[in-house]
């Protein structure tokens, strides 16, 4: 559940965060401080992280310093220290993310050994899945270089605050070369503003308002919802999770640009994908690329025959599902995506040559399947997810079903539809001169129609 994560006060949509960015931005380009730009961003990132989880700052430092140590040692012996660094990071991830598979969370002293019990009682560190993946990328990419990067650069790459909590997962090879002195004159304010305003609009207007409705998908609230509305809610959640994560990623990208760093684009209209393999090149692109580069290809990719390719796809997607959390629902979500990739593989070539009608039909099928699988994402408790699915095919006998304002749901989901139908592209084409006014209207609407505050869904990962 998103709300479970201790977010502190400084989320992207808070006033405190706006002030924080303004102060850091002002100091960053001050001529006397220009020599210390990297250090300033590192300090700001530590403040940002510490404002949410001060108790876990030492863990973040341990992760960075441990990775840096392995990185330096790997220049002497890559065969030992690179795997050691990867194991160190995966152990951190496994400990914090999957510890409750082995110990009982409800007991105060699960082991009986004070230091270990203290660690077990620590909450899930925000963004651990993301910074661990950064660390692994660093160890794999940079140990091939001639010399290790300075510690301050390693720090910046791992904890750069726009991407620290929920990505995008930037590859070290893409980020490290960007660490050079930055000039205010080179900042493209219009582009940064476009990303930030789009992100805020999608988060505040679309995701937060839809969240109000999709909260009825939670157990046992969904029991009060009429059968046809259970179907509607699944589709609304599909739009919500996109708007939420796309919104976060867009804000992160815009913030990165303000400080002179170009983070990778994380979404490319995923719901118009005509195949599941295309979907994964458009949804959470940075995670898909990471998994492909550091897991699928090392496993052999598609180079070892069709059977091994299918197995590799299943392994990667199942692990990708488990990366989100230690629950059967996440594993099944990943596994089913893997299965869909495997099943569609033999037909891709034939279907790829079909006409536009078939392509539209394929888009519909892919969107429908992806949307249905989000149920396992929304309801990590497997029994609840199955209960919800069963409820979609069972008429409810609740005498007072929850009233959903369907017209309002449509109005709040509309931006996702417009964006995917390509109408947004008009603004950058024929209607280009109206573009600033459109973004101004989006900003005003994001403020006026902002839904109740809700944590970014991906904060929990």
List, by residue number, the catalytic residues. Answer: 324
Contact flag: residue 197 with another protein (CB under 8 A): yes
Per CB under 8 A, 112 contacts another protein:
no
Token pair of 417, please? Answer: 């539809």
Nearest residue (CB) to another protein, 201 versus 248: 201
How is residue 443 written in tokens? Answer: 């900003």
- Member of 114, 185, 307, 390 binding another protein (CB under 8 A): 185
Under the criterion CB under 8 A, does residue 212 sit at the interface with another protein?
A: yes
Residue 155 Cα to chain centre, angstroms = 21
Among residues 108 and 400, whose Cβ is nearest to another protein? 400
- The candidate with the shortest Cα–Cα distance to 270, out of 249, 251, 242, 248, is 242
- Out of 22, 408, 418, 431, the only residue in the binding site for another protein (CB under 8 A) is 408
Residue 458 CB coordination number (10 Å): 21
What sign for the dihedral angle of Cα 443, 448, 453, 457?
negative
**Nearest approach, Cβ of residue 244 and another protein (Å):** 18
Q: Which is nearer to another protein, 167 or 415 (CB)?
A: 415
With respect to another protein, which residue has the nearer C-beta, 92 or 385?
Answer: 385
Cα–Cα distance between 255 and 259 in angstroms, integer?
Answer: 7
Among 31, 32, 220, 395, binds another protein (CB under 8 A): 220
Binding segment toward another protein, per CB under 8 A, in 129-137, 307-315, 369-377, 443-451: 443-451
Candidate segments 111-119, 220-228, 291-299, 325-333, binder of another protein by CB under 8 A: 220-228
Q: Is the peptide bond before 220 cis (omega within 30 degrees of 0)?
A: yes
The answer to whether residue 426 forms part of the interface with another protein (CB under 8 A) is: no
Q: Which of 226, 200, 232 is nearest to 214 (CA)?
A: 232
Q: Provide the Cα torsion 126, 261, 15, 236; round to 10°.
A: -70
- Give the interface size with another protein as a residue count (CB under 8 A): 39
Render the burial of 144-157: b for 16+ CB within 10 Å, e for the rest.
Answer: eeeebbeeebbbbb
Q: From the CB of 398, what's the least distance to another protein, in Å?
A: 5
Of 175, 201, 242, 412, the residue at the interface with another protein (CB under 8 A) is: 412
Report whether 262 contacts 256 (CB < 8 A): yes
Q: Is 184 in the site for another protein (CB under 8 A)?
A: yes
**Alpha carbon distance 188, 254 (integer Å):** 10
CB of 287 to another protein, least distance (A): 30
Write the CB contacts of 360 (distance below 8 Å, at least 6 apart in sequence).
none
Contact 355, 346 (CB under 8 A): no
Residue 55 is a binding residue for another protein (CB under 8 A): no
Binding mask 136-175 for another protein (x = CB under 8 A): ----------------------------------------
Task: Reduce the DSSP state of residue 297 to 3 states and report it.
Answer: coil
Please tell me whether residue 411 binds another protein under the rule CB under 8 A: yes
Residues in 222-241 at the binding interface with another protein, rule: CB under 8 A: 223-224
Quick one: tokens of 326? 């230690």
- Asked if residue 386 binds another protein (CB under 8 A), the reply is no
Q: Which letter does DSSP use for residue 216 in this model?
A: G
Interacting residue ranges for another protein, rule: CB under 8 A? 184-191, 193, 197, 212-213, 219-220, 223-224, 397-400, 405, 407-408, 411-412, 435-441, 443-445, 447-449, 452
């Amino acid at each position: 559940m998103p709300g479970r994560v201790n977010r502190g006060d400084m989320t992207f949509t808070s006033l405190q965060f706006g002030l924080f960015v303004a102060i850091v931005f002002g100091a960053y380009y001050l001529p006397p401080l220009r020599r210390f730009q990297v250090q300033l961003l590192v300090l700001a990132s530590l403040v940002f992280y510490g404002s949410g989880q001060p108790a876990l700052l030492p863990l973040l430092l341990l992760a960075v310093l441990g990775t840096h140590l392995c990185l330096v040692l790997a220049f002497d012996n890559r065969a030992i220290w690179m795997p050691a660094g990867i194991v160190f990071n995966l152990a951190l991830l496994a400990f914090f993310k999957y510890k409750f598979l082995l110990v009982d969370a409800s007991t105060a002293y699960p082991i009986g050994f004070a230091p270990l019990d203290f660690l077990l009682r620590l909450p899930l560190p925000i963004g651990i899945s993301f910074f661990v993946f950064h660390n692994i990328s660093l160890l794999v990419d940079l140990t091939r270089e001639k010399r290790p990067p300075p510690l301050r650069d390693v720090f910046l790459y791992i904890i750069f605050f726009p991407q620290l909590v929920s990505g995008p997962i930037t590859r070290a090879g893409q980020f490290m070369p960007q660490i050079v002195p930055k000039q205010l004159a080179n900042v493209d304010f219009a582009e940064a503003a476009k990303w930030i305003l789009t992100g805020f609009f999608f988060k505040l207007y679309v995701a937060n308002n839809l969240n109000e409705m999709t909260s009825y998908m939670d157990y046992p609230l969904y029991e009060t919802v009429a059968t046809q509305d259970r179907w509607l809610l699944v589709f609304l959640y599909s739009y919500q999770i996109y708007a939420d994560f796309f919104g976060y990623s867009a804000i992160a990208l815009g913030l990165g640009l303000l400080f002179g760093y170009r983070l990778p684009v994380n979404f490319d209209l995923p719901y118009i994908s005509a195949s599941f393999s295309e979907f994964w090149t458009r949804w959470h692109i940075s995670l898909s690329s990471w998994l492909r580069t550091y897991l699928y290809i090392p496993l052999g990719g598609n180079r070892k025959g069709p059977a091994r390719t299918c197995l590799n796809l299943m392994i990667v997607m199942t692990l990708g599902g488990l990366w989100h959390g230690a629950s059967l629902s996440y594993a099944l979500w990943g596994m089913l995506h893997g299965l869909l990739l495997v099943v569609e593989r033999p037909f891709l070539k034939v279907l790829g040559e079909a006409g536009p009608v078939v392509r539209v039909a394929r888009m519909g099928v892919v969107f429908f399947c992806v949307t249905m699988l989000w149920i396992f994402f929304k309801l990590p408790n497997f029994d609840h997810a199955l209960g919800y699915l069963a409820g979609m095919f069972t008429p409810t006998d609740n005498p007072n079903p929850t009233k959903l304002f369907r017209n309002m749901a449509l109005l709040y989901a509309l931006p996702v539809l417009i964006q995917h139908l390509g109408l947004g592209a008009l603004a950058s084409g024929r209607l280009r001169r109206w573009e600033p006014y459109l973004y101004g209207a989006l900003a005003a609407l994001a403020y006026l129609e902002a839904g109740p505050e809700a944590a970014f869904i991906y904060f929990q990962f």
